[in-house]
Structure 1
Amino acid sequence: MFIAYLFYKKSWIGIMGLLLLLTNALIQFDAGIDVEPHSLIYLNTLFLTICIIFLIWRYKKETVYYKSLHTLFNDLGEDWFESIPEPQRRFPDGVMYTLLQNIHEYDLNKRREDQLTQRMDHDDLSSWVHEVKTPLTAMKIIMDGHRSNELVQRLNAPWLRMHLLIDRQLYISRLANLDSDLLPDKRKVQDLIREEVRELSTWCMEKNITIEVTGNTAATVYTDKKWCGFVMRQLLTNAIKYSPTDGKVSIHIDLQENENVMVSIMDEGPGIQTHDLPRIFDKGFTGENGRVQHSATGMGLYLAKEISKKLHIRLEVATAVGEGTSIGMIFSSDNPFERIRRSPLNNRHE
């Protein structure tokens, strides 16, 4: 920083050098001034020493505020402006402080406007989703009343896909407030799976897909029924979507030695390409299979991953190209939900 300071003060250094040259020239060429050579050397040395000391002193004095700002901006946070020290001098530190204050106020106002716009868009979208669900529900009631009608039977699967898309959008709008919406309790894994399979049964019948549940069907987990069910629905939706007609989706429930519960959902689809595997949970990523299945949005697995983090569920993927994909939901026996359930206070209430 000192070199930069010297470059910044080059005009000062230039005028000091010019004055020294003029002084030496005056002594040398003015016949009325008689100075011994060693005295001239002493004068120049004294002048340069004073100038160097002056520059060092001014450097330390003028850059102390900038150094504090530099240290602060290496670790910026949300409250960065509150951490800025008050300036000791009106110029230039006071000017810099005022500039940063104006930038901070502008940033706050811009952020408030953006948040207000996002909130309005979020409210409008949520309202639209709720309004769309009303006619969808009415359609379902009408369709259930005419199940024997061939046209109604053909409409069941498209209606289900539309319902799943609208429902997914509703969950997206609630994702920001997920923490406040969690209500964990003890649930039987098989019951959670059965409910989601029943929800997707129309689609399974359309593709003639068999769903088989095996393993420890008595296993229980402590989780939120609604959000955990949504994660299962996304994984089952993917399995059904990429399974061939007349295929099979296998669901295996395993109680591991460390008391973790693992639910594996396996399909007989095309599998996931190796280069796509690291990105399958990225928002909007569809991969090669998604480009074949034009209905892919790249949101299902992203939502499943984000919600699983909040539910303390770990997702693991195993795949083989041409053979299928298996996604495991691992419910850890050591997570905040389980610790709350096992706490003495909670057991006393039970």
Structure 2
Amino acid sequence: MFFAYLVYKKSWIGLIGLLLLLTNALILFDAGIRVEPYSIIYLNGVFLTICVVFFSWRYKKETSYYKSLLTLFNDLRDDWFESIPSPYSRFPDRILYTLLQTIYEYEQNKRREDHSSQQMDHNDLTSWVHEMKTPLTAMKIIIDAHHSNELAQRLNAPWLRMHLLIDRQLYISRLANLDSDLLPEKQKVENLIREEVRKLSTWCMEKNISIDLKGNIASTVYTDKKWCGFVIRQLLTNAIKYSPTDGNIFIHIGLHENESVILTIKDEGPGIQAHDLPRIFDKGFTGENGRVQHSATGMGLYLAKKISVKLHIRLEVASVASEGTSIQMIFSSDNPFERMRRSLL
């Protein structure tokens, strides 16, 4: 910074050098002034020493405020202006401080406006989703009331897909407040699975897909029923979507040596290409299979992963092209929910 400061003060340095040169020329060439050569050297030495000391002092004084700003901006936060020290001088520190204050106030006003706009959009979308659920519920009542009507029963599968999409949108709108919406309780894994399978049974019957549930069905976990059920629903939805007609979906509940419950969902679909595996949890990523299935949005696994992190559930995927996909939900026995439960016992 010192070199930059000297470059910034180059006009001052040039002026001082010019004045020193003129002084030396006057002493040497003016016949009325007689000075010994050693005295001229001494005079120049004193003059240059004073200049160096002066510039060092001014450098420290003029750059101290800027150094404090640079230190602050290396760790920039939302409340950065509150950490800015008061200006040391009226000029130019006060002007810079006023400029930063104006920028900060503009940024805060803009952020509040954007937040207000996003909140309005969020509320409108949430309201629309709730309004859509009312006619959907009415449609389901009508469909269920006409069991003998073949046309009405054929609407079951399209109705389920619409219901799943709208329900997923409702969960997306609640995602920002997920932490405050969690209600962890002791849950039986088998009950969580059976409830989600029952919701998707119409789709399974349409594709004639059988679901085989095995393993330690008495296993229990400490988690939030609603959000954990949503994660299972997303994994089952993917399994059903990519399973062939007359296919099978295998669900296994295992217990690891460290008492972690492992829920495995395996389908007989086309599998996931090796180059797609690292990106399947990215938002909006559909992969090669998703391009074949034009209904894929790339949101299901993204939401499942995001919610699983909040629930302290680890998701692991194994897949071989043309041999199906296996997804594991690993419920750790050493997560904050479980520790909280044990502390209350």
Shift of 1:229: 0.4
| 1-structure distance, mates of 2:275, 2:4 | 48
Shift in Å at residue 162 of structure 1?
0.6
Q: Which stretch shows the higher mean deviation, 95-104 or 234-243?
A: 95-104
Aligned to 2:324: 324
- Structure 2 counterpart of 1:89, one-letter code: S
With normalisation by structure 2, the TM-score equals: 0.98
Answer yes or no: is 1:220 the counterpart of 2:233. no
Write the distance in 2 (CA, Å) between the matches of 1:188 and 1:250: 18
Shift of 1:70: 0.8
Whole-angstrom distance in 1 between the partners of 2:97 and 2:295:
53
Give identity over the alignment, percent. Answer: 79
Counterpart in 1 of 2:21?
21
Q: Within 5 Å, give how 1:264-279 maps onto structure 2.
A: 264-279=264-279
- Take 1:291 and 1:28, find their aligned partners in 2: how far apart are those partners? 89
Cα distance, 1:147 vs structure 2: 2.1
Compute the displacement of 1:29 (Å).
Answer: 2.3
SS in structure 1 of the partner of residue 155 of structure 2: helix
How many pairs align? 345
| Equivalent residue letter for 1:30 | D
Q: Name which of structure 1's ranges 142-151 and 209-218 shifts more when overlaid on structure 2.
A: 142-151
Please give the alpha-carbon distance, in whole angstroms, between the structure 1 residues aligned to 2:46 and 2:342. Answer: 81
Q: Which residue of 2 aligns with 1:286?
A: 286
Structure 2, unpaired ranges of 5+: none
Looking at structure 1, the residues matched to 47 and 270 of structure 2 have their Cα atoms a distance apart, in angstroms, of: 84
Quote the Cα distance in structure 1 between the aligned partners of 2:217 and 2:142: 35
Residue 74 of structure 1: CA displacement? Answer: 0.7
Quote the residue 1:75 is aligned against: 75
Instruction: Please list, as runs of the form range in 1=range in 2, the aligned pairs for 1:242-253 lying within 5 A after superposition.
Output: 242-253=242-253
| Other-structure match for 2:194 | 194
Letter in structure 1 aligned against 2:132 = V
**Deviation of residue 49 (structure 1)?**
1.4
Q: Give, in angstroms, the shift of residue 325 of structure 1.
A: 0.7
The residue matched to 1:333 in structure 2 has which SS?
Answer: coil
Could you say what secondary structure the match of 1:253 adopts?
strand
Match of residue 237 from structure 2? 237
Deviations 1:288-335 (A, max 9, x none): 111111111111001001111111111111111110111100111111
CA-CA distance at 1:209 after TM superposition:
0.8
1:4 corresponds to which residue? 4
Is 1:128 the counterpart of 2:138? The answer is: no
Q: Secondary structure at the match of 1:218?
A: coil
What is the distance in 1 between the residues matched to 2:340 and 2:49? 72
5+ residue gaps, structure 1, are none
Root-mean-square deviation (CA), in Å? 1.0
Moved over 6 A (4+): none
After TM superposition, give the deviation of residue 28 of structure 1 in Å.
Answer: 2.3
| 2:257 aligned residue | 257
